[in-house]
């Protein structure tokens, strides 16, 4: 592998949590807006429940049986710790931008993705929030097009921003509505 | 038939012409209910009856009783369902009111119509009846099915609906007068699949290779173990393979593609016959593919994505099961008359079989050979004035075409290894179907530029795309043409003389004024309300 490539890779995947770090996912003149950092505790809490919970439960047979049974809780706890460490980076990696005709969304740290969704292609908008997210006053806005492939969801928007974005998207969608 | 008892029918629209399904419907449906009932009966009580130690005559009596009872219940239910069902044709919508306990009112706007299928299951076909299925874009299950109508009624209704959807004004009968029939749009057959080709395509299919390998393995196992146990063990799998081949064979038997002003007409089926009509502009993506062994014969399969069919639909997505390169070009001409390039045939050939940068294809960079050992020179895309062409697969060749105005949204993805190599995957999001247009491992800068430019191209193409009423679009100057208008239309038809079907088809008087209507109202986005 060429040395230059490796150096660029090291720089890109360095300390930046995803934002502004990868030229492939940068578009000239686009100002990416970050999402609310309150999504970090929301995701960490649910990860703790769904991963940490089973880890704690499996400690009991490990204590009783001992030996290799400890692999299960220890493994689960390690995964939990890794996920808890990953979540802040993932949340910081999410960005969106409202252009004149399209909504841009990008996300991902290890597996990156970027989507361009034209307002005119929008069929409907969903705003949803789970119990923990509601307490933190954040919500997820999701655009649906006629394609199942377009994953156009923006998690972790403040409630006001989510409502504003929803109305904005609906208005722009109506103005530019196209058929199929 | 008038139905004054339907509430709100008059208030919703100008007069809706309410009709009933054919009287035979309960009979054709009854046997399904009967079969289910008898099945349940046998399943539940077969053991009990056997244990009761009855005379053969009594058992026969019980069975006959169950059959007759099941049939009567089925008939009664079907008759009730038939009485509760009526459909109506409005100025620009189709209505269907149905349901015995839970009433359902379905309403499909004709300008949102995606395809119309007239199909005849075996029993209905024997007695000369047919069902009509209207697909709208609401995904799987959003269709409106009228079952059953007499064969002529179904065809007349299809003609009328297509004419209305096309924007041709249909004459309506005055009160009491016999109904005015809309003439069928003239059809011209383009291609027909011979039974020999169908059998050959199945014999050389990928599944056949698997089966041959399986059979060889079984024979070896049987000889090795000196028993038939291995062969008996795979009985269910063998049945599955037979069912697959039978499904392909009977579904694709007598496959014919014709063209008419209403769109593309596809007929197929051995026992159950189907006639699909795909109006212009309803095809979202096209895939031309070739399994390995088909290379011996030079056959290709053409599939399309149509909104409303959904990803589960396999037979409906086939536009031509097995055609030569020349036949593929003729079928493609029906769907995408202008490839947007002045060397369309060379472009098509390069897309189907070529590698490298010929005809302006952009391939994966050399460094992607770490991931794509043999396909990196084949992986590639080409953008023309009208469509984006995606080429992939060295062993199983694929070539996907997406018209610019049919792009829903676009995406880029990148995994950790691809990031190291500075490669990005590019995706076009089409409506759910058999085709998922994407191209793997492009140079990151190239992919990003493609994303930005394609978003712009798609937007411009949408703005110029014709209205949903396709016949109106044709008479309106400038409408319906895309950015490819500069390239001579019909150059692609070097194979096929460009017909002007409009000449044969006499539109109703009102369309002579050539009013161009652009139907954009946000309320339409839902399409189906029911």
**Which CATH number does the domain housing residue A117 bear?**
2.30.29
Helix axes B206-225, B235-252, angle to 10 degrees: 160
> Would A32 be classed as within a structural domain?
no
Judgement on whether residues A179 and A100 belong to the same structural domain of the protein = yes
Gap from B522 CA to chain A (nearest CA, Å): 6
> Would A137 be classed as within a structural domain?
yes
HSE of B222, CA atoms in CB hemisphere, 13 A: 13
Domain boundary among A30, A63, A88: A88
Gap from A156 CA to chain B (nearest CA, Å): 21
Judgement on whether residues A56 and A134 belong to the same structural domain of the protein = no
Burial string for B220-240 (b: 16+ CB within 10 Å, else e) reads eeeeeeeeeebeeebeeeeee
Judgement on whether residues A117 and A178 belong to the same structural domain of the protein = yes
Judgement on whether residues A123 and A180 belong to the same structural domain of the protein = yes
> Would A178 be classed as within a structural domain?
yes
Residues 6+ apart with CB under 8 A from B490: B337, B338, B498
Name the interface residues of B facing A (CB cutoff 8 Å).
112, 114, 137, 282, 284, 307, 311, 367, 406, 408-416, 419-422, 424, 427, 429-432, 436, 444-445, 447-448, 451-452, 455, 458-459, 462, 465, 468, 519-520, 522, 525
Residues 6+ apart with CB under 8 A from B358: B350
pLDDT of residue A161: 94
> Would A4 be classed as within a structural domain?
no
- Per CB-CB distance under 8 Å, the chain A contacts of B520 are 177-179
Judgement on whether residues A78 and A121 belong to the same structural domain of the protein = no
Q: How confident is the model at residue A43 (pLDDT cuts 50, 70, 90)?
A: very high
Domain boundary among A70, A88, A106: A88
Contact with chain B for residue A175, Cβ under 8 A = no
Residues 6+ apart with CB under 8 A from B285: B304, B305, B400, B401, B402, B406, B428, B430, B433, B435, B437
User: Residue A1 above 50 pLDDT?
Assistant: no
Output the tens digit of pLDDT for each of chain B's 530 residues: 444 444 444 444 457 888 999 998 988 888 777 788 778 877 877 777 667 777 778 878 887 888 888 888 889 988 999 999 999 988 888 999 998 888 989 988 888 888 999 999 998 999 999 999 998 877 667 789 998 999 999 999 999 899 888 887 666 554 544 556 677 778 889 999 999 999 999 999 888 888 888 888 888 888 888 877 777 777 777 788 888 889 999 999 999 999 988 889 999 999 999 999 999 888 999 999 999 999 999 999 999 999 888 777 777 899 999 999 999 999 999 999 889 999 999 999 999 999 999 999 999 999 999 999 999 999 999 999 999 999 999 999 999 999 999 988 999 999 999 999 999 999 999 988 899 999 999 999 999 999 999 999 998 988 887 666 777 644 433 333 333 333 333 334 333 333 333 333 333 333 333 333 333 333 333 333 33
Q: Are A131 and A65 in contact (CB under 8 A)?
A: no
Q: Which helix (H) or strand (E) holds A156?
A: strand A152-158
pLDDT of residue B173: 53
Judgement on whether residues A132 and A164 belong to the same structural domain of the protein = yes
Task: For residue range A47-85, list pLDDT tens digits in order.
Answer: 999 998 888 888 888 888 888 888 888 999 999 999 999
- Given an 8 Å threshold on Cβ–Cβ distance, is A178 in contact with B465? yes
Judgement on whether residues A162 and A108 belong to the same structural domain of the protein = yes
Gap from A136 CA to chain B (nearest CA, Å): 30
Q: Are B389 and B400 in contact (CB under 8 A)?
A: yes
Judgement on whether residues A180 and A123 belong to the same structural domain of the protein = yes
Task: For residue range A96-152, list pLDDT tens digits in order.
Answer: 999 988 999 999 988 999 999 999 888 889 999 999 999 999 999 999 888 877 778
Number of domains present in the structure of chain A:
2
pLDDT of residue B136: 85
In whole angstroms, what is the distance from residue A58 CA to residue A73 CA? 5
Closest-CA residue of chain A to B461: A178
Structure tokens that stand for A180 in this block? 């199929």
Which structural domain range is residue A58 located in? 40-88
pLDDT of residue B17: 81
Q: Which helix (H) or strand (E) holds B148?
A: strand B144-150
Judgement on whether residues A82 and A99 belong to the same structural domain of the protein = no
Would residue B415 be called left, alpha or beta, if left means φ above 0 and alpha means ψ between -120 and 50 degrees? beta
CA angle B298, B302, B305 (to 5 degrees): 160
In whole angstroms, what is the distance from residue A139 CA to residue B54 CA? 68
> Would A7 be classed as within a structural domain?
no
User: Residue A6 above 80 pLDDT?
Assistant: no
- Per CB-CB distance under 8 Å, the chain A contacts of B455 are 101-102, 116, 118
> Would A30 be classed as within a structural domain?
no
Residues 6+ apart with CB under 8 A from B368: B376, B379, B421, B423, B441
Would residue A67 be called left, alpha or beta, if left means φ above 0 and alpha means ψ between -120 and 50 degrees? left
- Side-by-side strand order, sheet with B283-290: B318-324, B299-306, B283-290, B397-403, B387-392, B380-383, B362-363
Judgement on whether residues A166 and A114 belong to the same structural domain of the protein = yes
- Per CB-CB distance under 8 Å, the chain B contacts of A147 are 408-409, 429-432
Task: For residue range B8-38, list pLDDT tens digits in order.
Answer: 444 444 578 889 999 989 888 887 777 887 7
> Would A179 be classed as within a structural domain?
yes
- Given an 8 Å threshold on Cβ–Cβ distance, is B408 in contact with A148? no
In whole angstroms, what is the distance from residue A86 CA to residue A11 CA? 19
Partners of B192 in beta bridges? B256
Closest C-alpha among A42, A27, A30 to residue A157: A42
Task: For residue range B431-440, list pLDDT tens digits in order.
Answer: 888 999 999 9
Residues 6+ apart with CB under 8 A from B266: B255, B256, B257, B258, B274, B275, B276, B277, B278, B319
Closest-CA residue of chain B to A170: B522
For chain A, the 3-state helix, strand and coil shares in percent, each to the nearest 5, are 50, 25, 25
Tokens 């699949």, residue located: B193
Domain boundary among A68, A88, A108: A88
Judgement on whether residues A76 and A137 belong to the same structural domain of the protein = no
> Would A52 be classed as within a structural domain?
yes
- Given an 8 Å threshold on Cβ–Cβ distance, is B416 in contact with A110? yes
Judgement on whether residues A48 and A74 belong to the same structural domain of the protein = yes
In whole angstroms, what is the distance from residue A89 CA to residue A81 CA? 13
């Amino acid at each position: 592998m060429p040395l230059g490539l490796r150096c660029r890779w090291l720089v890109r995947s360095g300390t930046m949590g995803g934002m502004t770090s990868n030229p492939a996912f940068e578009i000239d003149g686009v100002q990416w807006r970050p999402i609310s950092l309150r999504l970090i505790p929301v995701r960490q809490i649910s990860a703790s429940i769904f991963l940490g919970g089973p880890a704690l439960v499996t400690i009991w047979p490990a204590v009783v049986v001992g030996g290799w049974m400890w692999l299960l809780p220890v493994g689960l706890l390690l995964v939990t710790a890794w996920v808890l460490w990953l979540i802040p980076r993932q949340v910081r990696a999410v960005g969106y931008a409202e252009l004149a005709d399209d909504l841009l969304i990008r996300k991902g740290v290890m597996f990156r993705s970027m989507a361009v969704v034209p307002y005119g292609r929008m069929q409907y908008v969903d705003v949803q929030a789970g119990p923990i997210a509601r307490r933190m006053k954040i919500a997820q806005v999701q655009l649906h097009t006629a394609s199942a492939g377009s994953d156009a969801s923006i998690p972790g928007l403040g409630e006001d921003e989510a409502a504003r974005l929803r109305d904005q998207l609906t208005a722009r969608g109506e103005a530019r509505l196209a058929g199929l | 038939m008038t139905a004054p008892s339907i509430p709100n029918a008059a208030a919703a629209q100008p007069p809706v012409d309410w009709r009933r399904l054919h009287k035979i419907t309960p009979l054709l449906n009854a046997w399904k209910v009967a079969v289910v009932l008898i099945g349940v009966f046998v399943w539940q009580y077969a053991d009990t009856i056997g244990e009761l130690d009855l005379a053969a005559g009594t058992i026969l009596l019980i069975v006959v009783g169950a059959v007759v009872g099941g049939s009567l219940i089925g008939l009664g239910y079907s008759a009730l369902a038939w009485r509760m069902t009526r459909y109506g044709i409005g100025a620009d919508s189709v209505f269907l009111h149905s349901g015995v306990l839970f009433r359902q009112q379905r309403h499909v706007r004709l300008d949102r119509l995606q395809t119309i299928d007239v199909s005849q299951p075996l029993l209905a076909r024997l007695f000369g009846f047919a069902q009509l299925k209207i697909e709208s874009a609401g995904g799987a299950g959003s269709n409106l099915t009228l079952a059953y109508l007499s064969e002529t009624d179904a065809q007349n209704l299809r003609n009328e609906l297509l004419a209305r959807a096309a924007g041709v004004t249909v004459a309506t009968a005055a009160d009491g007068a016999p109904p005015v029939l809309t003439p069928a749009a003239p059809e011209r057959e383009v291609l027909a699949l011979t039974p020999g080709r169908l059998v050959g395509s199945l014999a050389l299919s990928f599944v056949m290779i698997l089966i041959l390998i399986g059979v060889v393995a079984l024979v070896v196992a049987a000889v090795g173990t000196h028993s038939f146990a291995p062969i008996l063990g795979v009985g269910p799998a063998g049945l599955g393979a037979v069912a697959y081949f039978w499904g392909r064979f009977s579904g694709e038997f007598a496959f014919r593609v014709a063209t008419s002003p209403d769109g593309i007409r596809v007929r197929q089926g051995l026992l159950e016959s189907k006639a699909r009509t795909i109006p212009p502009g309803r095809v979202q993506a096209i895939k031309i593919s070739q399994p390995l062994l088909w290379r011996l014969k030079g056959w290709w399969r053409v599939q399309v994505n149509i909104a409303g069919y959904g990803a589960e639909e396999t037979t409906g997505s086939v536009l031509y099961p097995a055609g030569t390169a020349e036949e593929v070009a003729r079928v493609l001409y029906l769907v995408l008359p202008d490839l947007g390039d002045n060397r369309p045939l060379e472009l098509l050939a390069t897309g189907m079989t070529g590698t490298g940068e010929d005809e302006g294809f952009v391939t994966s960079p050399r460094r992607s050979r770490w991931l794509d050992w043999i396909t990196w020179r084949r992986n590639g895309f080409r953008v023309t004035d009208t469509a984006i062409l995606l080429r992939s697969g060295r062993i199983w060749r694929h070539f996907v075409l997406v018209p610019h105005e049919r792009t829903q949204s676009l995406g880029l993805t990148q995994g950790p290894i691809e990031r190291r190599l500075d490669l990005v995957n590019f995706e076009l999001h089409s409506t759910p179907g058999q085709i998922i247009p994407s191209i793997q491992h492009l140079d990151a800068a190239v992919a990003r530029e493609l994303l930005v430019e394609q978003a712009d191209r798609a937007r411009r193409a949408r703005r110029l795309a014709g209205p949903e009423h396709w016949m109106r679009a044709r008479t309106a100057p400038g409408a319906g043409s895309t950015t490819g208008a500069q390239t001579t239309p019909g150059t692609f038809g070097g194979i096929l003389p460009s017909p002007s079907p409009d000449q044969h088809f006499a539109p109703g008087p009102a369309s002579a004024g050539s009013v161009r209507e652009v139907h954009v109202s946000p309320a339409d986005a839902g399409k189906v309300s029911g």
